[in-house]
Amino acid sequence: MRTRKKMPHRTALRHTRKAAAAVLIAVAALGLTACQDGETDSSSASSASSASASNPQSAASTPKAGQGSASSTPSGTPKKDGMKCTDQINYAGDPRPNAEINSIGENTGYCPPVKGSATSTPSGTPKKDGMKCTDQINYAGDPRPNAEINSIGENTGYCPPVKGSATSTPSGTPKKDGMKCTDQINYAGDPRPNAEINSIGENTGYCPPVR
């Protein structure tokens, strides 16, 4: 009997095939894992995108607390339409030119407070209801027209001080109690009616100078 010899090359070929198969299995397993990971990432991104779409406020930046809380409303008195601030409020003693004051009013809609004053309360004498400032106070010597003076009184509620005077004390002669100015002083030649002269005396306590 002839003894059959083993063929080493067949054994080696078998081992090579097994190794190749193992490599292919490993590669396939890695590919499957990568695909699963990709699907997971895609699913996560899709979920995040859906959450952002359903709740857009969460995607937007949250405003800081207090943002926009600062008020831009100017200080001062609201400006009346068609009137200059210097006609609406008495700015006597304010170092700024009238043009600058009126420009502030035109641009902001507010007449600025009198400079150097803690408040915007006009200076002068409180105006009496139903009475013109020129009837309440003697503005003899004041260069402003009566219409301007009375307009200030109507719009601010205060009769402005006599221009050039540090106080609002009327000029003239102190009125005697119980006596009309026309009985106290001779107003012959004064163009004003006696009633107007006496009214000034009653309201200010001073008989106005003869005009």
pLDDT for the residue 120: 53
Does pLDDT of 198 surpass 50? yes
The contacts found for 60-66 with CB under 8 angstroms, 24 or more apart, are none
The pLDDT of residue 99: 92
Q: Checking phi first, is residue 129 left (phi over 0); if not, alpha (psi -120 to 50) or beta? A: beta
Which residues are CB-neighbours of 204 under 8 A, at least 6 positions away?
A: 136, 137, 138, 170, 172, 175
Structure letter (DSSP) for residue 175:
P
CB atoms within 10 A of CB 12: 10
Give me the pLDDT at residue 203, please. Answer: 78
CA 136/CA 124 separation, integer angstroms: 12
Distance (Å, whole) CA 198 – CA 139 = 15
Q: What is the pLDDT of residue 140?
A: 82
Alpha carbon of residue 56 to chain centroid:
32
The proportion of the chain whose per-residue pLDDT surpasses 90, expressed as a percent, equals 16
pLDDT bin (cut points 50, 70, 90) of residue 26 is low
Between CA 66 and CA 156 the distance in angstroms is 36
Strands (DSSP E) along the chain, which ranges? 77-78, 110-111, 125-126, 158-159, 173-174, 206-207
pLDDT (tens digit, 9 = 90+) per residue, 64-100?
444 444 456 677 888 988 999 988 988 877 888 899 9
Contact between 185 and 209 (Cβ < 8 Å): no
CB 142 within 8 A of CB 211: no
When pLDDT is averaged across residues 44-53 and rounded to a whole number, the result is: 49
Whether residue 206 contacts residue 197, with contact meaning beta carbons closer than 8 Å, is answered with no
Q: Helices (H) and strands (E) in the chain — how many of each?
A: 8, 6
What is the model's pLDDT at position 100? 92
110 pLDDT more than 80? yes
